Structure 1
Amino acid sequence: MACSSNTYRITIVGAGIIGLTTACTILKEYAANENLQLTILSEKFSPDTTGDISAGFWEPYGLNAVDERILRWAGYTYDIFLSEFFSTKAARAGIIKLPSYSLQGYNGQNIKDDETTKKPEFLKLVRHSHSLDQHELAMFDHLKPKSGFVMVSVAVEVRKYLPQLLRFLSEDSRVKFIKKKIHSLIELKDKADVVINCTGLASRDLVGDQTLRPARGQVLRVHAPWIKSVYTFDTEDGFGYVIPQGDTVVLGGTFQLNDWNTKPVASDTQKILRMCSKALPALEQIRHGKVQVGLRPYRDNGVRLEHEKTSIDMNVVHCYGHSGAGVTLSWGCAKDVVDIVKTLLPPKSKRQDNLLEHEKLWRLIPNFEYVVLKAKI
């Protein structure tokens, strides 16, 4: 494909976890291309994205199906996050490795008989997992689950992670940011050789995809420093979860399809506290917390990741519809998106280096606002 003035012009629309991981992957693959012009255009940037509200827990969640494609994306992303945890990035990027207990059924209810021993396919992707035996299930006897499993997973504090990606991207002179809302991708015609659509729920209007629907999520962030593991569980009120982050614990949640309300609902907050207190009774003491609401981009047909040659001769690569699994699939989807872009705009040979894979994707940039405290002896 011919490029204007021998310049590779790539525009990413959307600056959430999908858009920014895609941008970082582009910089990796086009490291030797000084003629790259990468534009990130978005109505919202961190801390105002849907991802900033999320608990950032790695697990394929809220999808209509977990197929081989989803597993491939999730596995690649898991490996990146885990390697970042064992690197200098962990603290500033908000990456935590922790055990996760998933409990199925409540008081012998809310579960089909054929699901009692069923292990999800994604367990084969993690470093360690096993089904809970009767002795382990007895720890949760107050819930009386019928089955469960534990795995080693990762929680990414997105409100810390996205700013670090942005800092890395902003250090590259080939990258520019535009804060703007567009109403049609046609507005970018002749302004980019390839447009990458990472707009999440906004794609419903932007490209007319009516299979996209909001899945409203309300969560409560509380101070509960004694909680060091993830817990997901069934209760008589529905499905709940408890997910620790750096200085807060996220209690959830709701998954309300076709609900566009972005304001907190008091009855939802009460329900969340009631469910989470069933699992961890000490949470009954919680009286205060920060209530947040986000709209997940649920798509009836699953994630859309494909190239489209539009009727007006635009090259668009779509990547949206991740529902509650945007963090979980992020780096894997970014890799596939950029593989498509490379067929349209072949990059120069990559510079050789001995960096670890996660360091090739992005690196910490010094932030002099951080204050180093020296211990008094």
Structure 2
Amino acid sequence: MSAVADVIVVGGGVSGLTTALQLAERGLRVRVWSRDPAAGTTSAVAGALWWPYRIEPGALVSGWSVETLRVYEELAAAPAETGVRRVAGVHGGERLAALGPWARELDQVSEVPEGLRVTLPLIDMPVHLRWLEGRLAAAGGVVERRAVDGFGEAAAEARVVVNCTGLGARELVPDAGVRPVRGQLVVVENPGVEEWFTRADPASSATTYFFPQPGGLLLGGTAEVDDRRTEPDPGTAREIVERCARVRPEIAGARVIGHRVGLRPARDAGVRIEAEELPGGGLLVHNYGHGGAGVTVAWGCARAAARLVG
């Protein structure tokens, strides 16, 4: 028999788990319905450097991002437990004057010839997702493997439903503005790289980045809009390694230990956080459309969604 719930959160990635945690720690009885285990969600594939990347609307993103940054700075005190570390690196081609108001909240940042050198939270997502699940359980929340065909199924069991379904919102809401942005990564044995690097060309689907994670060096990447392929492309993988090796030549000889593909859940109109009534008097709260920055805004968006729950 299912547990009684005040709120059912549909979606078990970083947005769903963080939102559920906010609600559970406010004393609500929360269940999370997720089609996939956390390790099987798009969130688990993310390179997960904190940075407001490919996300709108800018006027709201700045506040959500800074709120989340402050949480990660606290969590970085226990990296083995939370998966969050503060790591230095360079954003190639960036300048402070070109960034949003959130950039004023950064410390340990300086302009160098290559771009911006800054220390930021870098999140080991498999570890962080397990930590979120554990903290949610400690607060009384329950995570269940369950797929849904409509929010009415959840509304039949709780007065409030929170939609954190990412790409699934395209069919479930339905919202035709939700679309995938395909990201491919290569994982190699780390040849001694201790700092991250990124360089994004807004006019291209190819990006260059590498993130030193405990399980290896993550190399990227791509940002291919409306591409739903979930299998790694061998040619793309070779190009990713080549681009990263132009920045750090030792990467060229690193042994490949894995490939990852994730479909970022972008939305043409940007992030949607709003509430609407369901037939029968229930409340549906939306929290989706985070694109390539779900990790970056997770806590700010979760708090905004939780306020709508009441």
Instruction: Answer yes or no: same fold by TM over 0.5.
Output: yes
1:37 and 2:29 are equivalent in the alignment: yes
Residue 270 of structure 1: how far off its partner (Å): 0.7
Rounded to whole Å, the distance in 1 between the matches of 2:205 and 2:268 is 25
1:166 match = 133
The question of whether the paired residues in 2 share the 8 Å contact of 1:225 and 1:248 is answered with no
> Out of 78, 98, 107, which is 2:69 matched to?
78
1:101 match = 90
2:142 match = 176
Residue 150 of structure 1: how far off its partner (Å): 1.4
**Percent of aligned positions with the same letter in both sequences?**
28
2:107 match = 127
Partner of 2:6, secondary structure, is strand
TM-score, normalised via structure 1 length: 0.76
Which deviations, in whole Å up to 9, do the C-alpha atoms of 1:68-92 show, x marking residues without a partner? 3101000010010011112xx3112
Partner of 2:66, secondary structure, is helix
Residue 312 of structure 1: how far off its partner (Å): 4.4
Larger radius of gyration: 1
Residue 244 of structure 1: how far off its partner (Å): 1.2
1:50 and 2:16 are equivalent in the alignment: no
1:295 match = 263
Q: Which amino acid aligns with 2:288?
A: Y
The question of whether the paired residues in 2 share the 8 Å contact of 1:16 and 1:51 is answered with yes
The gaps in structure 1 that reach 5 residues or longer are 1-6, 31-35, 105-114, 138-144, 343-377
Partner of 2:103, secondary structure, is helix
The question of whether the paired residues in 1 share the 8 Å contact of 2:57 and 2:270 is answered with no
Partner of 2:251, secondary structure, is helix
Task: Map residues 227-376 of structure 1 onto 2, 5 A cutoff.
Answer: 227-233=193-199, 238-342=206-310
Residue 237 of structure 1: how far off its partner (Å): 9.1
**How many aligned positions are there?**
304
2:9 match = 12
1:33 match = none
Rounded to whole Å, the distance in 1 between the matches of 2:249 and 2:148 is 47
Partner of 2:30, secondary structure, is strand
Partner of 1:59, secondary structure, is coil
The question of whether the paired residues in 1 share the 8 Å contact of 2:24 and 2:141 is answered with no
Which deviations, in whole Å up to 9, do the C-alpha atoms of 1:156-184 show, x marking residues without a partner? 11100111111222234x42222111011
1:110 match = none
2:79 match = 90
Residue 47 of structure 1: how far off its partner (Å): 1.0
Partner of 2:32, secondary structure, is strand
Which deviations, in whole Å up to 9, do the C-alpha atoms of 1:221-257 show, x marking residues without a partner? 1111511111112689942001111231110001000
Partner of 2:285, secondary structure, is strand
- Residues 234, 317 of structure 1: alpha-carbon distance in 2 compared, 3 angstrom cutoff: closer
Residue 66 of structure 1: how far off its partner (Å): 5.5
Rounded to whole Å, the distance in 2 between the matches of 1:328 and 1:77 is 6
Answer 1 or 2: which has greater strand percent. 2
Rounded to whole Å, the distance in 1 between the matches of 2:168 and 2:281 is 22
Q: Which amino acid aligns with 1:202?
A: G
Task: Map residues 133-212 of structure 1 onto 2, 5 A cutoff.
Answer: 137=113, 148-172=115-139, 174-212=140-178
Q: Which amino acid aligns with 1:94?
A: G
The question of whether the paired residues in 1 share the 8 Å contact of 2:275 and 2:285 is answered with yes
- Residues 183, 237 of structure 1: alpha-carbon distance in 2 compared, 3 angstrom cutoff: closer
The question of whether the paired residues in 2 share the 8 Å contact of 1:21 and 1:330 is answered with yes
Residue 191 of structure 1: how far off its partner (Å): 1.3
Q: Which amino acid aligns with 1:154?
A: P
Partner of 1:26, secondary structure, is helix
The question of whether the paired residues in 2 share the 8 Å contact of 1:237 and 1:275 is answered with no
Residue 313 of structure 1: how far off its partner (Å): 2.9
- Residues 177, 238 of structure 1: alpha-carbon distance in 2 compared, 3 angstrom cutoff: closer
- Residues 119, 128 of structure 1: alpha-carbon distance in 2 compared, 3 angstrom cutoff: farther
The gaps in structure 2 that reach 5 residues or longer are none
The question of whether the paired residues in 1 share the 8 Å contact of 2:12 and 2:164 is answered with yes
Residue 116 of structure 1: how far off its partner (Å): 7.0
Rounded to whole Å, the distance in 2 between the matches of 1:96 and 1:116 is 24
The question of whether the paired residues in 1 share the 8 Å contact of 2:8 and 2:32 is answered with yes
